């Protein structure tokens, strides 16, 4: 079928991003907006807006019955869930099917399979992907035995979700009991699922992921992304392809991701996350994200595809229309997330009204944003204001363009991480490429206090 009218069950920059593709494809958009977002830039750019519910996400963007009621009232053919919120929620996908609405994403069983991290781990093992030594822990005794077996330090993780919540690093047997309790409590609060599992902790690792795309039969990979610049498991900078990765490792990783997708007969866009152990030159499956990701533009930059269009085409029931051999990579792309945070004051959130918003334009520069003068950054949702993306023929040119672009951007009215990103992109470690996930912590510690200018 051909989709003509799509409900965007999301907000912010990704809502605007989805609209761009819909507009190009001649698809009408209806934005499901909470009360706080009824006058947002996304709402004013959508063809129509439908009220989703009160401002708190639990009453709007996370409310499955409210989203379905909005979709029905708006008489849409399909629903795009964006990222975050209900994007990987099997109940929403089920409810869409029951309401005769196409869910632009994987099938409910696929969402369920990867949403449960332990099940995803079992699928990875079945698909012959390397995983870290570890497994599920049902009691403190079981955890102690397993931790002793894999060796400290270990990392306790939530079965029900990611993003750093419910995640605890444990250095020695003495700390295990307390960390386990905290992780279980956090996991229960964040995901409504107290189950946790345990894996060996890799001290010097890089977060490298592979974009995959499937039509339910064929699955291709769209290359690697390096997302090792993180703060508390939140990504700050992403790039494609992952720099300084041995060619054999890259190819093995890409093949492993595609093979994992084929094992699931995956339909839609997904990301297979790996931890790359730099010392051992080995990689391990971490988890799979069954949605479009914040950092998708760097992949679009190097492979020339519109990933939202790919999602829509696959959701329409069409085959991919190209094979792995048709996927060509060109150059390098880097993305910086610009958040409404006062990074000098421990990244304190900075909601409010934006008074000035100037972004760079130029060759190889792309800015995805929902911010313009007068825009509100509501206190209810995440702090992402813009993504500044630079593409170049190689990493050096991409970095050059990114530095220049960041220097030309200005946001006033709320605090932003622009100046932090300028400093990070200009730091020798990042410029050299291939840093590990502890780089950002060290970067902050090493900066003299005098340089902390917001």
Partner 1 sequence: MDLTDDDVRAILRLLETSPFSDLELETPEFRLTLHRTETGWTRESATSRPAHVLPRATAPELAEAVIPAQVSPTQALEPRSDVVDVRTPLPGTFYRAPKPGAPPFVELGTQVGADTVVGIVETMKLMNSVYAGIAGRVAEICLGDASFARQGAVLMRIAADRA
Q: Which residues bind partner 1 (CB under 8 A)?
A: 1, 5, 19-20, 23, 30, 33, 38-41, 43-51, 65, 68-70, 72-75, 77, 97-102, 317, 357-363, 365-367, 372-374, 404-405, 407-409
Nearer to partner 1, 344 or 407 (CB): 407
The minimum distance between CB 129 and partner 1, in angstroms, equals 31
Nearer to partner 1, 321 or 374 (CB): 374
Q: How far is CA 138 from CA 125, 164, 200, 232, 415, in A?
A: 20, 20, 17, 26, 44
Nearer to partner 1, 184 or 375 (CB): 375
Strand partners, 410: 358
Structure tokens at 201: 């902790």
Nearer to partner 1, 40 or 224 (CB): 40
Instruction: Name, in order, each residue with C-beta under 8 angstroms of 352's C-beta and a sequence gap of 6 or more.
Output: 340, 376, 377, 413, 414
Nearer to partner 1, 19 or 147 (CB): 19
Closest by CA position to 25, among listed 319, 424, 308, 267 = 308
Phi, psi of 222 (to 5 degrees): -120, 35
The minimum distance between CB 349 and partner 1, in angstroms, equals 24
Burial (0-12, 13-18, 19+ Cβ within 10 Å), 128: exposed
DSSP letter for each residue of 307-341: HHHHHHHHHTT------GGG----SEEEEEEEESE
Half-sphere exposure of 416 (CA within 13 A, CB side): 27
The minimum distance between CB 48 and partner 1, in angstroms, equals 5
The minimum distance between CB 72 and partner 1, in angstroms, equals 5
Nearer to partner 1, 32 or 294 (CB): 32
Structure tokens at 24: 């190009």
Instruction: Out of 168, 250, 267, 291, pick the active-site residue.
Output: 291
Handedness of CA 37, 42, 43, 44 (dihedral sign): positive
Nearer to partner 1, 21 or 254 (CB): 21
Residue 291 annotated as catalytic? yes
Structure tokens at 354: 């934006």
The minimum distance between CB 391 and partner 1, in angstroms, equals 11
The minimum distance between CB 327 and partner 1, in angstroms, equals 21
The minimum distance between CB 73 and partner 1, in angstroms, equals 5
Edge-to-edge strands of the sheet including 205-215? 282-289, 267-277, 205-215, 219-231, 234-240, 332-339, 384-392, 365-369
How far apart CA 114 and CA 270 sit, in angstroms, is 10
How far apart CA 283 and CA 280 sit, in angstroms, is 9
Enzyme catalytic residues: 291
């Amino acid at each position: 079928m051909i989709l003509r009218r799509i409900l965007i069950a999301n907000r912010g920059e990704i809502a605007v991003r989805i609209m761009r593709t819909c507009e190009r494809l001649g698809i009408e958009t209806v934005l499901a907006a909470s009360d706080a977002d009824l006058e947002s830039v996304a709402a004013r750019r959508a063809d129509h807006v439908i009220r989703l519910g009160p401002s708190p996400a639990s009453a709007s963007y996370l409310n499955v019955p409210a989203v379905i009621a909005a979709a029905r009232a708006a008489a849409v053919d399909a629903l795009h869930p964006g990222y975050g919120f209900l994007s990987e929620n099997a109940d929403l996908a089920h409810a869409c099917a029951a309401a005769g609405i196409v869910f632009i994403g994987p099938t409910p069983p696929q969402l369920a399979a990867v949403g449960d991290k332990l099940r995803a781990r079992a699928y990875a093992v079945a698909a012959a992907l390397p995983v870290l030594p570890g497994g599920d822990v049902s009691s403190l005794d079981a955890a102690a035995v397993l931790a002793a077996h894999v060796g400290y330090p270990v990392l306790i993780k939530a079965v029900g979700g990611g993003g750093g919540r419910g995640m605890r690093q444990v250095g020695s047997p003495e700390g295990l009991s307390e960390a386990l309790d905290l992780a279980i409590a956090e996991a229960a609060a964040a995901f409504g699922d107290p189950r946790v599992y345990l894996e060996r902790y890799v001290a010097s690792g890089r977060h490298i992921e592979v974009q995959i795309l499937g039509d339910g039969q064929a699955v291709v990979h769209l290359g690697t992304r390096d997302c090792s610049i993180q703060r508390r498991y939140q990504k700050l900078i992403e790039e494609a392809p992952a720099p300084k990765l041995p060619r054999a490792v890259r190819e093995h990783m890409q093949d492993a991701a595609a093979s994992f997708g084929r094992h699931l007969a995956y339909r839609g866009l997904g990301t297979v996350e790996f931890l790359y152990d730099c010392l051992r030159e080995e990689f391990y499956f971490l988890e799979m994200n069954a949605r479009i990701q914040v950092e998708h533009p760097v992949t679009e930059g190097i492979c020339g595809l519109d990933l939202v269009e790919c999602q829509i085409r696959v959701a329409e029931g069409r085959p991919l229309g190209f094979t792995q051999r048709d996927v060509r990579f060109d150059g390098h792309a880097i993305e910086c997330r610009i958040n409404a945070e006062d990074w000098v004051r421990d990244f304190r959130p900075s909601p409010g009204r934006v008074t000035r918003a100037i972004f760079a334009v130029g060759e190889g520069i792309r800015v995805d944003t929902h911010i313009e003068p007068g825009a509100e950054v509501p206190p209810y949702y995440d702090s992402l204001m813009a993504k500044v993306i630079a593409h170049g023929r190689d990493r050096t040119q991409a970095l050059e363009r990114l530095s220049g672009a960041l220097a030309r951007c200005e946001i006033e009215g709320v605090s932003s991480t622009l100046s932090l990103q300028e400093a990070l992109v200009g730091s020798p470690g990042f410029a050299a490429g291939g840093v590990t996930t502890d780089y950002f912590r060290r970067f902050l510690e090493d900066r003299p206090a005098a340089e902390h200018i917001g």
